Copies of this chain bind each other. A is one copy, B any other.
Amino acid sequence: MPTNHRVKLASRPAGGLPQPANFEFDAVETPALTEGQVLVKISYISLDPAMRGWMNESRSYIKPVQIGDVFRAGTAGQVVESQNPAFAVGDYVTGNLGVQQYAVAGAGATDPASPEYLVKVDTRLAPLETYLATLGMPGLTAYFGLLNTGQPKAGETVVVSGAAGAVGSVVGQIAKLKGCRVVGIVGDEEKAEYCTTELGFDATINYKTENVRTALRAACPKGIDVYFDNVGGEILDFVLEQIRLHARIVICGAISQYNNTTPVKGPSNYLSLLVNRARMEGIVVFDNAANYATAAREMAGWIQEGKLKSPKVQVEHGIENFLPALLKLFSGENFGKLVLAP
Protein backbone atom coordinates (compact mmCIF):
# COMPACT_ATOMS: atom_id res chain seq x y z
CA MET A 1 0.00 0.00 0.00
CA PRO A 2 1.54 3.32 -1.00
CA THR A 3 1.76 6.10 1.54
CA ASN A 4 -0.54 9.06 0.89
CA HIS A 5 0.66 12.53 1.86
CA ARG A 6 -2.29 14.85 2.42
CA VAL A 7 -3.07 18.48 3.22
CA LYS A 8 -5.90 19.08 5.67
CA LEU A 9 -7.54 22.30 6.80
CA ALA A 10 -6.33 22.89 10.38
CA SER A 11 -7.98 26.25 11.05
CA ARG A 12 -9.71 29.02 9.15
CA PRO A 13 -7.71 32.10 8.09
CA ALA A 14 -8.78 35.03 10.26
CA GLY A 15 -8.77 37.27 7.17
CA GLY A 16 -5.98 38.18 4.83
CA LEU A 17 -3.81 35.59 3.15
CA PRO A 18 -3.96 32.02 4.43
CA GLN A 19 -1.02 31.07 6.66
CA PRO A 20 0.97 27.84 7.08
CA ALA A 21 -0.72 27.27 10.45
CA ASN A 22 -4.07 26.96 8.67
CA PHE A 23 -2.95 23.64 7.17
CA GLU A 24 -1.83 20.31 8.53
CA PHE A 25 0.26 17.84 6.56
CA ASP A 26 0.01 14.16 7.31
CA ALA A 27 0.78 10.79 5.77
CA VAL A 28 -1.40 7.69 5.91
CA GLU A 29 -1.39 4.28 4.29
CA THR A 30 -3.87 4.05 1.43
CA PRO A 31 -6.63 1.65 2.49
CA ALA A 32 -7.52 -1.65 0.86
CA LEU A 33 -10.25 -1.18 -1.76
CA THR A 34 -13.78 -2.50 -1.37
CA GLU A 35 -16.04 -3.37 -4.29
CA GLY A 36 -16.67 -0.50 -6.70
CA GLN A 37 -13.70 1.54 -5.50
CA VAL A 38 -10.61 2.56 -7.40
CA LEU A 39 -7.32 3.98 -6.19
CA VAL A 40 -6.17 7.03 -8.11
CA LYS A 41 -2.64 8.35 -8.11
CA ILE A 42 -3.05 12.08 -8.45
CA SER A 43 -0.85 13.67 -11.12
CA TYR A 44 -2.06 17.26 -10.92
CA ILE A 45 -3.94 19.26 -8.30
CA SER A 46 -5.76 22.29 -9.64
CA LEU A 47 -5.00 25.49 -7.72
CA ASP A 48 -7.89 27.94 -8.03
CA PRO A 49 -8.82 31.33 -6.56
CA ALA A 50 -12.10 29.84 -5.32
CA MET A 51 -10.12 27.77 -2.81
CA ARG A 52 -9.71 30.88 -0.69
CA GLY A 53 -13.48 31.07 -0.24
CA TRP A 54 -13.74 27.42 0.75
CA MET A 55 -11.50 28.17 3.75
CA ASN A 56 -14.10 30.54 5.22
CA GLU A 57 -16.94 29.42 7.39
CA SER A 58 -19.51 31.57 5.64
CA ARG A 59 -22.29 30.26 3.44
CA SER A 60 -21.36 30.16 -0.21
CA TYR A 61 -22.25 28.29 -3.39
CA ILE A 62 -20.57 25.21 -1.96
CA LYS A 63 -20.07 24.04 1.62
CA PRO A 64 -16.92 25.29 3.34
CA VAL A 65 -14.20 22.70 3.80
CA GLN A 66 -14.53 21.38 7.34
CA ILE A 67 -11.67 21.62 9.80
CA GLY A 68 -9.75 18.34 9.68
CA ASP A 69 -10.88 17.46 6.15
CA VAL A 70 -8.49 16.94 3.26
CA PHE A 71 -8.61 20.26 1.45
CA ARG A 72 -10.97 20.22 -1.55
CA ALA A 73 -9.39 20.44 -5.01
CA GLY A 74 -10.02 19.43 -8.57
CA THR A 75 -7.49 16.83 -9.66
CA ALA A 76 -6.36 14.70 -12.60
CA GLY A 77 -4.65 11.37 -12.23
CA GLN A 78 -4.39 7.74 -13.17
CA VAL A 79 -6.10 4.64 -11.85
CA VAL A 80 -3.50 2.41 -10.13
CA GLU A 81 -5.84 -0.19 -8.60
CA SER A 82 -9.46 -0.97 -9.41
CA GLN A 83 -12.34 -2.93 -7.94
CA ASN A 84 -14.70 -1.26 -10.40
CA PRO A 85 -15.29 -2.74 -13.88
CA ALA A 86 -15.88 0.77 -15.30
CA PHE A 87 -12.28 1.82 -14.54
CA ALA A 88 -9.19 -0.10 -15.59
CA VAL A 89 -5.70 0.30 -14.18
CA GLY A 90 -4.02 2.90 -16.37
CA ASP A 91 -7.18 4.90 -17.09
CA TYR A 92 -6.83 8.66 -16.76
CA VAL A 93 -9.49 10.35 -14.66
CA THR A 94 -10.48 13.69 -13.17
CA GLY A 95 -12.40 14.33 -9.98
CA ASN A 96 -12.55 16.47 -6.85
CA LEU A 97 -10.09 14.25 -5.06
CA GLY A 98 -8.48 16.89 -2.87
CA VAL A 99 -4.97 18.01 -2.01
CA GLN A 100 -3.28 14.64 -1.62
CA GLN A 101 -1.19 12.13 -3.54
CA TYR A 102 -3.69 9.28 -3.71
CA ALA A 103 -7.44 9.02 -3.38
CA VAL A 104 -9.99 6.26 -3.14
CA ALA A 105 -13.08 7.04 -5.18
CA GLY A 106 -15.35 5.84 -7.94
CA ALA A 107 -17.97 3.97 -5.96
CA GLY A 108 -21.03 5.09 -7.87
CA ALA A 109 -21.29 8.77 -6.93
CA THR A 110 -23.59 10.67 -9.31
CA ASP A 111 -22.97 14.25 -8.14
CA PRO A 112 -20.03 15.74 -10.08
CA ALA A 113 -19.10 17.81 -7.02
CA SER A 114 -18.74 14.70 -4.86
CA PRO A 115 -15.20 13.61 -3.95
CA GLU A 116 -16.24 10.10 -5.03
CA TYR A 117 -17.16 11.13 -8.57
CA LEU A 118 -14.68 10.24 -11.32
CA VAL A 119 -14.69 11.04 -15.03
CA LYS A 120 -12.54 9.12 -17.48
CA VAL A 121 -10.61 11.38 -19.86
CA ASP A 122 -8.93 10.70 -23.17
CA THR A 123 -5.31 11.84 -23.20
CA ARG A 124 -5.08 11.23 -26.94
CA LEU A 125 -7.42 14.19 -27.44
CA ALA A 126 -5.56 16.54 -25.12
CA PRO A 127 -2.82 16.24 -22.49
CA LEU A 128 -3.99 15.29 -19.00
CA GLU A 129 -3.44 18.76 -17.53
CA THR A 130 -5.76 20.28 -20.17
CA TYR A 131 -8.60 18.52 -18.35
CA LEU A 132 -7.93 20.83 -15.42
CA ALA A 133 -7.80 23.85 -17.73
CA THR A 134 -9.68 24.36 -21.00
CA LEU A 135 -11.51 21.04 -20.79
CA GLY A 136 -12.00 21.29 -17.02
CA MET A 137 -13.67 23.70 -14.64
CA PRO A 138 -11.85 26.87 -15.79
CA GLY A 139 -12.68 26.28 -19.45
CA LEU A 140 -16.25 25.32 -18.69
CA THR A 141 -16.61 28.38 -16.46
CA ALA A 142 -15.42 30.55 -19.34
CA TYR A 143 -17.67 28.79 -21.84
CA PHE A 144 -20.94 28.95 -19.90
CA GLY A 145 -20.26 32.28 -18.23
CA LEU A 146 -19.41 34.05 -21.46
CA LEU A 147 -21.92 32.40 -23.78
CA ASN A 148 -24.96 31.99 -21.52
CA THR A 149 -24.61 35.04 -19.31
CA GLY A 150 -22.37 37.42 -21.27
CA GLN A 151 -24.15 36.65 -24.56
CA PRO A 152 -21.56 38.33 -26.78
CA LYS A 153 -22.65 39.36 -30.26
CA ALA A 154 -20.38 39.86 -33.26
CA GLY A 155 -19.00 43.39 -33.33
CA GLU A 156 -19.38 43.94 -29.59
CA THR A 157 -16.52 44.81 -27.24
CA VAL A 158 -15.69 42.22 -24.57
CA VAL A 159 -13.34 43.03 -21.69
CA VAL A 160 -11.95 40.27 -19.49
CA SER A 161 -9.85 40.62 -16.36
CA GLY A 162 -7.36 37.98 -15.30
CA ALA A 163 -7.01 37.64 -19.06
CA ALA A 164 -3.96 35.39 -19.17
CA GLY A 165 -5.40 33.07 -16.54
CA ALA A 166 -7.07 29.71 -16.89
CA VAL A 167 -10.56 31.21 -17.22
CA GLY A 168 -9.75 34.57 -18.80
CA SER A 169 -7.64 33.17 -21.63
CA VAL A 170 -10.53 30.95 -22.71
CA VAL A 171 -13.11 33.75 -22.35
CA GLY A 172 -11.11 36.00 -24.64
CA GLN A 173 -10.55 33.34 -27.26
CA ILE A 174 -14.22 32.32 -27.36
CA ALA A 175 -15.19 35.99 -27.64
CA LYS A 176 -12.84 36.29 -30.63
CA LEU A 177 -14.44 33.18 -32.14
CA LYS A 178 -17.78 34.98 -31.82
CA GLY A 179 -16.51 38.02 -33.72
CA CYS A 180 -16.00 40.41 -30.82
CA ARG A 181 -13.32 42.98 -30.11
CA VAL A 182 -11.47 41.59 -27.08
CA VAL A 183 -9.54 43.57 -24.50
CA GLY A 184 -7.70 41.72 -21.75
CA ILE A 185 -6.61 43.14 -18.41
CA VAL A 186 -3.42 41.60 -17.05
CA GLY A 187 -0.74 42.28 -14.44
CA ASP A 188 2.49 42.10 -16.44
CA GLU A 189 3.95 42.68 -19.88
CA GLU A 190 4.69 39.05 -20.61
CA LYS A 191 1.04 38.17 -20.06
CA ALA A 192 -0.04 41.12 -22.20
CA GLU A 193 2.24 39.97 -25.01
CA TYR A 194 0.90 36.42 -24.71
CA CYS A 195 -2.72 37.58 -24.97
CA THR A 196 -2.19 39.61 -28.11
CA THR A 197 0.33 37.48 -30.00
CA GLU A 198 -0.60 33.95 -28.91
CA LEU A 199 -4.31 34.26 -28.18
CA GLY A 200 -5.27 36.94 -30.71
CA PHE A 201 -6.73 39.53 -28.32
CA ASP A 202 -7.14 42.97 -29.88
CA ALA A 203 -5.62 44.88 -26.96
CA THR A 204 -4.43 44.46 -23.41
CA ILE A 205 -4.12 46.71 -20.38
CA ASN A 206 -1.49 46.21 -17.69
CA TYR A 207 -3.31 47.28 -14.52
CA LYS A 208 -0.06 47.54 -12.59
CA THR A 209 1.56 50.10 -14.90
CA GLU A 210 -1.32 51.78 -16.74
CA ASN A 211 -4.16 54.04 -15.69
CA VAL A 212 -6.92 51.50 -16.25
CA ARG A 213 -9.67 54.10 -16.66
CA THR A 214 -7.81 55.94 -19.42
CA ALA A 215 -6.53 52.77 -21.02
CA LEU A 216 -10.04 51.29 -21.18
CA ARG A 217 -11.27 54.43 -22.88
CA ALA A 218 -8.55 54.08 -25.52
CA ALA A 219 -9.00 50.34 -26.00
CA CYS A 220 -12.81 50.43 -26.06
CA PRO A 221 -13.68 53.52 -28.07
CA LYS A 222 -17.31 52.41 -28.47
CA GLY A 223 -17.65 51.44 -24.79
CA ILE A 224 -17.92 48.02 -23.22
CA ASP A 225 -20.70 45.55 -24.03
CA VAL A 226 -19.56 42.57 -21.98
CA TYR A 227 -17.25 42.49 -18.98
CA PHE A 228 -16.16 39.12 -17.65
CA ASP A 229 -14.87 39.91 -14.18
CA ASN A 230 -12.43 37.67 -12.36
CA VAL A 231 -10.90 40.32 -10.13
CA GLY A 232 -13.43 42.84 -8.72
CA GLY A 233 -12.14 45.95 -6.96
CA GLU A 234 -11.58 49.29 -8.66
CA ILE A 235 -11.32 47.77 -12.14
CA LEU A 236 -14.98 46.82 -11.93
CA ASP A 237 -15.76 50.45 -11.12
CA PHE A 238 -13.78 51.74 -14.09
CA VAL A 239 -15.62 49.33 -16.35
CA LEU A 240 -19.01 50.38 -14.97
CA GLU A 241 -18.19 53.95 -15.98
CA GLN A 242 -17.71 52.83 -19.57
CA ILE A 243 -20.39 50.26 -20.25
CA ARG A 244 -22.76 50.61 -23.17
CA LEU A 245 -26.53 50.36 -23.20
CA HIS A 246 -27.71 46.86 -22.22
CA ALA A 247 -24.21 45.76 -21.21
CA ARG A 248 -23.73 42.45 -19.40
CA ILE A 249 -21.28 42.09 -16.52
CA VAL A 250 -20.46 38.51 -15.65
CA ILE A 251 -19.32 38.17 -12.04
CA CYS A 252 -17.10 35.10 -12.05
CA GLY A 253 -14.80 36.05 -9.20
CA ALA A 254 -13.16 38.89 -7.33
CA ILE A 255 -9.63 37.73 -6.62
CA SER A 256 -8.60 41.24 -5.54
CA GLN A 257 -11.04 40.98 -2.62
CA TYR A 258 -10.61 37.43 -1.36
CA ASN A 259 -7.85 38.17 1.12
CA ASN A 260 -9.23 41.49 2.33
CA THR A 261 -8.97 42.28 5.97
CA THR A 262 -11.33 45.21 5.37
CA PRO A 263 -14.87 44.86 3.96
CA VAL A 264 -15.22 44.05 0.26
CA LYS A 265 -15.22 47.18 -1.90
CA GLY A 266 -18.66 47.41 -3.44
CA PRO A 267 -18.84 48.92 -6.93
CA SER A 268 -19.57 52.62 -6.32
CA ASN A 269 -20.60 53.03 -9.94
CA TYR A 270 -23.31 50.38 -9.77
CA LEU A 271 -25.93 52.99 -10.71
CA SER A 272 -24.44 52.85 -14.18
CA LEU A 273 -26.50 49.65 -14.41
CA LEU A 274 -29.58 51.86 -14.18
CA VAL A 275 -28.37 54.55 -16.56
CA ASN A 276 -27.45 51.91 -19.13
CA ARG A 277 -30.19 49.35 -18.36
CA ALA A 278 -27.35 46.92 -17.84
CA ARG A 279 -27.11 43.67 -15.99
CA MET A 280 -24.61 42.25 -13.51
CA GLU A 281 -24.96 38.53 -12.89
CA GLY A 282 -23.06 35.95 -10.92
CA ILE A 283 -22.17 32.55 -12.32
CA VAL A 284 -21.08 29.24 -10.85
CA VAL A 285 -20.03 26.54 -13.29
CA PHE A 286 -21.67 23.70 -11.33
CA ASP A 287 -25.11 24.87 -12.47
CA ASN A 288 -24.25 23.66 -15.95
CA ALA A 289 -23.20 20.14 -15.00
CA ALA A 290 -25.83 18.62 -17.28
CA ASN A 291 -24.16 20.30 -20.27
CA TYR A 292 -20.48 19.79 -19.42
CA ALA A 293 -20.01 17.02 -21.93
CA THR A 294 -21.52 18.95 -24.85
CA ALA A 295 -19.45 22.02 -24.03
CA ALA A 296 -16.23 20.05 -23.61
CA ARG A 297 -16.85 18.36 -26.95
CA GLU A 298 -17.33 21.72 -28.67
CA MET A 299 -14.18 23.10 -27.07
CA ALA A 300 -12.18 19.96 -27.91
CA GLY A 301 -13.27 20.54 -31.52
CA TRP A 302 -12.04 24.13 -31.39
CA ILE A 303 -8.73 22.96 -29.95
CA GLN A 304 -8.29 20.40 -32.72
CA GLU A 305 -9.14 22.98 -35.38
CA GLY A 306 -6.49 25.26 -33.86
CA LYS A 307 -9.09 27.89 -32.93
CA LEU A 308 -8.66 27.59 -29.18
CA LYS A 309 -5.32 27.36 -27.44
CA SER A 310 -5.18 25.72 -24.08
CA PRO A 311 -3.78 28.13 -21.52
CA LYS A 312 -0.19 27.78 -20.48
CA VAL A 313 0.04 25.36 -17.58
CA GLN A 314 2.44 26.18 -14.78
CA VAL A 315 3.34 23.11 -12.75
CA GLU A 316 4.58 23.48 -9.19
CA HIS A 317 6.07 20.42 -7.52
CA GLY A 318 5.73 18.76 -4.14
CA ILE A 319 2.67 18.53 -1.93
CA GLU A 320 4.60 20.38 0.79
CA ASN A 321 4.52 23.41 -1.53
CA PHE A 322 0.73 23.60 -1.61
CA LEU A 323 0.44 26.92 0.21
CA PRO A 324 3.32 28.84 -1.45
CA ALA A 325 2.05 27.60 -4.82
CA LEU A 326 -1.53 28.68 -4.06
CA LEU A 327 -0.37 32.12 -2.94
CA LYS A 328 1.06 32.76 -6.41
CA LEU A 329 -2.54 33.11 -7.62
CA PHE A 330 -3.09 36.06 -5.31
CA SER A 331 0.21 37.78 -6.02
CA GLY A 332 -0.30 37.28 -9.76
CA GLU A 333 3.01 35.37 -9.99
CA ASN A 334 1.45 32.45 -11.82
CA PHE A 335 1.12 32.50 -15.59
CA GLY A 336 -1.83 30.58 -16.98
CA LYS A 337 -3.33 27.57 -15.29
CA LEU A 338 -1.56 26.78 -12.02
CA VAL A 339 -1.35 23.16 -10.90
CA LEU A 340 0.55 21.26 -8.26
CA ALA A 341 2.14 17.88 -9.02
CA PRO A 342 2.02 16.27 -5.57
Residues of A within 8 A of B (CB): 59-61, 232, 237, 251-254, 257, 263-284, 287
Subset of 27 A-B contacts with CB under 8 Å: A60-B275, A61-B275, A61-B277, A232-B271, A237-B266, A251-B271, A251-B273, A254-B274, A257-B271, A264-B268, A264-B269, A264-B271, A266-B266, A266-B267, A266-B269, A266-B270, A267-B267, A267-B270, A272-B282, A273-B280, A273-B281, A273-B282, A277-B283, A278-B282, A279-B279, A279-B282, A280-B281
How far in angstroms is the closest Cβ of chain B from A333?
A: 24
Do B279 and A280 have beta carbons less than 8 Å apart?
A: yes
Give me 9 other A-B pairs in contact (C-beta within 8 A), A264-B270, A265-B268, A266-B266 excluded.
A61-B277, A237-B266, A265-B266, A266-B268, A267-B267, A270-B270, A274-B283, A277-B282, A280-B281
Do A253 and B274 have beta carbons less than 8 Å apart?
A: yes
How far in angstroms is the closest Cβ of chain B from A278?
A: 6
Q: How many copies does the complex hold?
A: 2
Q: Could you say which residues of chain B place their CB within 8 Å of the CB of A274?
A: 61, 251-254, 282-284
Minimum CB distance partner of A237 in chain B: B266
Q: Could you say which residues of chain B place their CB within 8 Å of the CB of A275?
A: 59-61, 282, 284
Given contacts A278-B282, A280-B280, A281-B280, contact A268 B273 (CB under 8 A): no
Q: Could you say which residues of chain B place their CB within 8 Å of the CB of A251?
A: 270-271, 273-274
Minimum CB distance partner of A284 in chain B: B277
Minimum CB distance partner of A287 in chain B: B277
| Bound-complex Cα distance A208 to B266 (A) | 23
| Bound-complex Cα distance A264 to B237 (A) | 11
